[in-house]
A and B are shown apart, each in its own frame.
Chain A
Amino acid sequence: MKTKQKIDKINKNLFIIVSTVLLLIFLIGIASAEDSGASYCCEKTLSGAWCQNQPIEQCDSNFKTVPSSCDSTSYCKRGCCFDSQEGLCMENTPQRICEASNATWADSPECNIIQCQQGCCILGNQGAFVTLTRCKQLSGFYGLTTDFRSGIQNEVTCISTAQGKDTGACVMDNGRGGKTCKFELREKCTTAGSTDNNINISGNQTGGASLGFYKDILCTAPELGTECGKTKNTVIIEGKDEVYYTDTCNNRANIYDSSRYDDPQYWRNVYKKSESCGAGSSNAGSKTCGNCDYFLGSIGKKYSGILNKPEQGDYICVSLSCANGKKHGESWCVSDSPTGEGQDTVGSRYYKQICLNNEIITEPCADYRGQICIENSISGFSEAACRTNRWGDCTQQKQKSDCENINQRECLWIENYYLSSSGQVTKSTNDSNNDGNQDDPTPDGLCVPNYPPGFQFWGSSSSSAVSSGNATTPGFGSSTPSFGSGYINPSTGTTSAASSCSIGNSAITIKWEKTKHPLVPGFLEGILGTKNEEEPQCTQNCQYLTEEDKNNENISQATVEKWAQEMNGICYKLGDCGGYINWVGTYTDGGYAAYFNNRRLAGSGGAQILEATTTSNSNTGNATTPTFTNPTSTGFMIKDWINNIIK
């Protein structure tokens, strides 16, 4: 009895514990959803997008809304949408959308399901790497029997398999007591009376061959005894790159090669592309050879020029290269500004250009220099790509080696400046040399983006996704990665230029001290008193001053201008900050203002002298009263010299 009570008690406690844990999980889930402000799964948003993780105010109240990620819901879980009609598999499709389209949904976002397994679909002498359903559909449309080979697992093998199908001469009765011939695929050769579709002919036989299919033999082979003879005519064939000879029966023969026109073997046997003239090169513009190669930059086309007329026929290999000398398939980078080293201009952008089929296609990389274009060349063939500009954590790097680690980021190390612990760009003193010592908190340089990013400094995006004319607000998931020491405005999803540029803010206080020395140091100091005041000396941030300033006990306008220019040089490397040229080459200094004696310095930008902070300390540690009264002539503080004035 006692044991039973104990068990009951344990069960009761266990129930309470489990219930409490579950309740806590539920409450934490709700709380975190509310905290992030973006973790509601909207079945449909007000802007019309299906299944988005958005703040609740963005959700359409006529549809479902759950305070969790869409992947945790039944209706918006991403999976594979299989179109049984076309045999297509669409990835990352929410169940709700897929089923509304009368397609089949499966719980596999990357479509790793049996219906979506691809194989090689042979369509005549062409191959398509598709699903079985799609193969059936395509075969049906082209009036072919379905030939699906699931064992072939890549597109290249599929195409070569299809192209490697047996072709040859199909000898037929011409109805006039003679023989005619068609050069075609083995399975298409259905010659009446032909029982053996693969008859080998002996070299000495002339005209005695029976009806049927002759693999790799041309219709002009004398052994076949057909009415088809050789001609100097050439032709191009759909789906093929090369120029081919034709025979008198309009069959294609071997690749056009005027040097072998009189070679009987060239009109008897099929020669592979690799065995034909000029194999391995494009043969663009060749008068004698029609072995064009699309991937090497040429294709057979009708001749329409004056120079390089083909010796035989009307077709020639034309070059697919572009007017600028780039080869077919080459890509390269262009930009409308100097690039890298922090020199990218305001509004500039990277572009990738591609030469394809005599045409140059321009692909802009992401705006705001969110992407840069990278280019490499192998054996003179250049290839380019737009790649994410990884500048986000540059300002956080304290070591030169980390800053310049191109595997991690695109940053630039600037010597003699560093980001102080208070987040201000500060000039290193001459004696500061920590040599990358990690224990020394003072870095020996400043890490800035190598390709400064652009900012929307003119306000909100002019072309965001809209619904019925209203701008939508891109949302934030709770798992949004973080970068850098700047910030992005969560309510607009964009960065305030002024705030981003404020990373470069600097408040520098230069201190001048007048020191009183004892007449006699030591125990007599208190009796004999101190000397008269000596010359004031700069004791803090003196690195900003010239020797002349120090001697003159003053800060000149030239010093302020120089400082401002130096700081501006760092500022525009952080992004579209400060004064700099834009992509059309116009310089503007409206991004900052510099004042000296309450007068704005023309053009050079820089610093605003806000207040005097003169202090005077004795070397004994006792504070003395300031002796300088004219603030602008004794000390200055450079503060927020670029911020809040950015246009």
Chain B
Amino acid sequence: MKNRILNKRAQLTIFIIIALLIVAVLLIIFLPNLMQRFGPKTTEQIIAGDCLEKNVRLALNETLMHGGTIKPELYFRYNNFSIDYLCYTAEWYKTCVMQKPLLKQQIETEVKKAIATSVGKCVQDTIDNLKNGGYEVVVTGTKAPNLEINPNNKIKISIDLELKLIRGEEKIIPSSSFTREFSSNIYEMIMVASSIQNYEARYGDASIETYMTYYPELRVEKYRQDDGTKVYIVTDKASGQKLQFATRSLAWPPGYAIN
């Protein structure tokens, strides 16, 4: 009877030891991830994530919804958005004149311009926090962000900044730490938009089903407006990201024309 009780206790101890071992192994495996998710953020994470990526995503979305320019000068008002004309003619029966020939560069410039202030402020706040935490911070480089929309469905953002943190010992955070890359189909969407621009400039119209057939991951919509404007909306089906732009080409007036 006594042996049985001892056996049971021994078994229980073994189970507890095994359970503790399992927990320890799980912690070893998942701790870095948990720390990364719920633990305090590093300076690199704050600058690359909060300062760069968040701001870029917001600005990019805003830029794309307005046709590549956040506050366009020449625009068509559609669903409460002022949408930039990428190709435009004020005349009837004429093909359009290209207004934004380099759309990708235009979007990159616009996003960089849009986030410059907020990124600068964000970086400065992070540096100030480090200083308040007792660090001596030596900053080299610039706070202006760089943005590249690349063909491999990646958007790369970076900031050419190097931080030297001194509190007892010296720690250098190189500029390569302040780089983020995230997936997006924006490059493909821009190339489709550029192709539509070319078709509009040459023929006065573009066939949306051709683009949707060759790019099944994209939805391309065309909405003709009463003044001859066409609003194109290119949507990435997976992410829901939209690029809207307007063209006015080969427009026909309503009603009878003058003799």
Contact = CB atoms under 8 A, between A and B. Distances in A.
A binds B: yes
Given A81-B101, A356-B213, A363-B221, A456 B75 contact: no
A523 interface: no
A455 B213 CA distance: 36
A476 B91 contact: yes
A90 B194 CA distance: 8
Contact of B92 (A58, A93, A476): A476
A503 interface: yes
B142 to A, nearest CB: 21
B229 interface: yes
Interface string A241-266: 00000000000000000000000000
B229 to A, nearest CB: 6
B178 interface: no
B151 interface: yes
Given A49-B74, A368-B226, A503 B208 contact: no
Contacts of A356: 209, 212-213, 216
Contacts of B223: 363-364
B222 A357 contact: no
Q: Which of B96, B213, B255 has the most C-beta atoms of chain A within 10 angstroms of its own C-beta?
A: B255
Given A356-B213, A367-B226, A453 B93 contact: no
B119 interface: no
Interface string A46-68: 01111111100010000000000
A628 B93 CA distance: 56
Interface in A469-496: 472-477, 480-488, 490, 493-496
A375 interface: no
A503 B213 contact: no
B180 interface: no
Contacts of A467: 73-75
Given A361-B221, A363-B221, A477-B94, A495 B253 contact: yes
Contacts of A575: 255-256
A453 B219 contact: no
Interface in B214-259: 216, 219, 221-229, 248, 251-259
Nearest to A388: B252
Contacts, number: 226
Nearest to B254: A368
B68 to A, nearest CB: 12
Contacts of B225: 367, 463
A482 B226 contact: no
Interface stretch (A20-28, A96-104, A282-290, A601-609): A96-104
Contact of B258 (A89, A454, A472, A487): A487
Interface string A90-126: 1111100110011100000010000000000000000
Given A97-B101, A141-B151, A484-B256, A329 B73 contact: no
Contact of B201 (A91, A101, A361, A464): A91
A58 B248 CA distance: 17
A365 B228 CA distance: 11
Interface size class of A (residues with CB under 8 A): 35 or more
A647 to B, nearest CB: 16
A359 interface: yes
Contact of A141 (B152, B219, B253): B152
A110 B95 CA distance: 12
A86 interface: yes
B31 to A, nearest CB: 31
Given A141-B150, A364-B223, A477 B256 contact: no
Interface residues of B, number: 59
B146 interface: no
Nearest to B249: A92
A346 to B, nearest CB: 13
A599 to B, nearest CB: 33
Interface string A134-177: 00011001100000000000000000000000000000000000
Interface string A358-395: 01010111111011000000000000001010001000
Contacts of B78: 463
Given A52-B97, A90-B198, A356-B213, A487 B256 contact: yes
A160 to B, nearest CB: 15
B219 A88 contact: no
A326 to B, nearest CB: 13
Contacts of A480: 91-93, 257-258
Contacts of B99: 49-50, 97
A97 B105 CA distance: 14
A92 B95 contact: yes
A497 interface: yes
A580 B253 CA distance: 23
Contacts of B257: 392, 480-484, 486-488
Given A90-B197, A454-B254, A485-B256, A466 B76 contact: yes
B255 A486 contact: yes
B179 interface: no
Contacts of B197: 90
B209 A92 contact: no
B205 to A, nearest CB: 8
Contacts of B229: 465
Interface in B58-92: 72-78, 85, 87-92
A138 B213 CA distance: 22
A294 interface: yes
Interface in A225-281: none
B87 A92 contact: yes
B9 interface: no
A505 interface: no
B97 A453 contact: no
A85 interface: yes
A357 B211 CA distance: 13
A500 interface: yes
A583 B145 CA distance: 53
B98 interface: yes
A485 B259 contact: yes
A367 B85 contact: no
Nearest to B208: A363
Contacts of A465: 74-76, 85, 88, 90, 227, 229, 248
A456 B224 contact: no
A488 B255 contact: yes
Nearest to A140: B151
B255 A101 contact: no
A455 B255 contact: yes
A53 B91 contact: yes
A45 interface: yes
Contacts of B73: 47-48, 467
A35 B202 CA distance: 29
B81 to A, nearest CB: 13
A52 B89 CA distance: 7
A205 interface: no
Given A70-B97, A361-B219, A496-B255, 15 more contacts: A48-B74, A91-B98, A91-B198, A92-B202, A141-B150, A141-B151, A361-B221, A364-B224, A367-B225, A368-B226, A370-B252, A477-B91, A480-B93, A495-B253, A495-B256
12 contacts: A47-B74, A49-B90, A58-B90, A97-B101, A110-B202, A141-B152, A361-B221, A453-B256, A474-B228, A488-B256, A488-B257, A495-B255
9 A-B pairs with the lowest CB-CB distances in the bound complex, closest first: A495-B255, A486-B256, A48-B73, A48-B74, A368-B254, A92-B201, A90-B101, A93-B98, A81-B101
Interface of A: 38, 45, 47-54, 58, 70, 76, 78, 81, 83, 85-86, 88-94, 97-98, 101-103, 110, 137-138, 141-142, 294-295, 299, 329, 331, 354, 356-357, 359, 361, 363-368, 370-371, 386, 388, 392, 453-456, 461-467, 472-477, 480-488, 490, 493-497, 500, 503, 575
